[in-house]
Amino acid sequence: MSQQPTRVDFSSSGGLTVAAYRWDPQGAPRAIAQIVHGVGEHALRYTPLAEVLAARGFVVYAHDHRGHGATLLDSQEPGVIGADGWTELVADVGRMGRNARTANPGLKLVLIAHSLGSFATQQFLPEHSAEFDAVALSGTAALDLLPLDLDAPVDLSMFNAGIPSPRTEFDWISRDEAQVDAYLADPLCGFGLDIAGMKGMVGGAVAVAATECVASIRSDLPLYIAVGDKDPVNGDLALVNALVQRYEQAGLTDITLKVWHGARHEIFNEINRDEVFADLLAWIDRKLA
């Protein structure tokens, strides 16, 4: 039976209340896991991953980004975060993590961030890598190298271009048709960021790509990068390989790259998701031991 998470909303800049969730393990938690979702979706889509982590003794936290999920204001268009929205979206990753640590003093914290969440994490880490004991990025890439038109809102269905004989506009997210159909049926899914948000995100990506910025990440941070080799976001792996090389050249010494053959963008919603979960959990166990 699925466990209903507890709401643990927090205050952010501009008086915004950010919707946040906590899944509790049976008994005392052994560590904290923080999940950071992607664009055009919401934290509760990660309930299966959260429940797997909770079953392994983690207390799990996740929040809905501004412009997303239950954080979205009734009067607001989905994905609209405004001129300063991206900076604050990145900062909210830290706010959630600090709240989790405050509520669970002394426990180690692993951050698990997908797609847009991974881009926010890439931009948060240079000044804050000491706040995490391990970091896992999925559906990620060197965003500054991804060709995007920043003068128009992003249509996420553009990533479907390389999918052979697509059944829907969002086949690019997973080979699992049931997962794609659930995404399409979810009114809180399927949108991109507004132009201001996109410009903030990409501008931030360019800034943190600088060698001196990447080099400020602590060199012994355990970093797990997991992608599908059929994920159009990583450009046939070129953009994820560029990201790994960037971290290696900056001096990071504990990088694990996991490539899932045949998998598309959402590896946690793929047909082999149990295998994906198991590999991530095994890595976390090794790094937090």
**Domain of residue 240, residue span:** 6-288
Beta-carbon count within 10 A of 7 CB: 10
Q: Which pLDDT score, from 0 to 100, does residue 25 have?
A: 98
Whether 1 is covered by a domain: the verdict is: no
**For residue 11, what is the enclosing H or E element?**
strand 10-11
Return the bridge partners of 113, or none. 36, 137
Q: Is residue 119 part of a domain?
A: yes
CATH of the domain at 274: 3.40.50.1820
> Number of folded domains in the chain?
1
225-247 pLDDT tens trace: 999 999 999 999 999 999 999 99
Residue 7 host element (H or E)? strand 6-7
What is the model's pLDDT at position 147? 84
Residue 1's pLDDT is what? 44
**Amino acid 14: pLDDT:** 87
pLDDT of residue 32: 99
- Asked whether residue 130 is assigned to any structural domain, the reply reads yes
**Contact partners, residue 114, CB within 8 Å, separation at least 6:** 35, 36, 37, 38, 46, 137, 138, 139, 140, 266, 268
Q: What is the distance between the alpha carbons of residues 141 and 122, in angstroms, rounded to a whole number? A: 10
Per residue of the chain (289 residues), what is the pLDDT tens digit?
467 999 999 999 989 999 999 999 999 999 999 999 999 999 999 999 999 999 999 999 999 999 999 999 887 899 999 889 999 999 999 999 999 999 999 999 999 999 999 999 999 999 999 999 999 999 999 999 988 888 877 788 889 998 999 999 999 999 999 999 999 999 999 999 999 999 999 999 999 999 999 999 999 999 999 999 999 999 999 999 999 999 999 999 999 999 999 999 999 999 999 999 999 999 999 999 9
Determine the Cα angle at 142 with ends 85 and 263, to 5°.
Answer: 105
For residue 26, being part of any structural domain is answered with yes
Return d(Cα 89, Cα 99) in angstroms, integer.
Answer: 15
User: Would you call 164 helix, strand, or coil by DSSP?
Assistant: coil
CB-based contact 198:156 (threshold 8 Å): no
Burial label for 5, CB within 10 Å (0-12, 13-18, 19+), is buried
58-74 burial: b if 16+ Cβ within 10 Å, else e? bbbbbbbbbbbbbbbee
Separation CA 35–CA 96 (nearest Å): 10
Q: Is 121 a domain residue?
A: yes
Query: Alpha carbon of 246 to those of 134, 141, 179, 186, 225: distances in Å?
Result: 18, 11, 33, 36, 13
pLDDT at 83 (0 to 100): 80
C-beta separation of 59 from 22 below 8 A = yes
Tens digit of pLDDT for each residue in 24-51?
Answer: 999 999 999 999 999 999 999 999 999 9
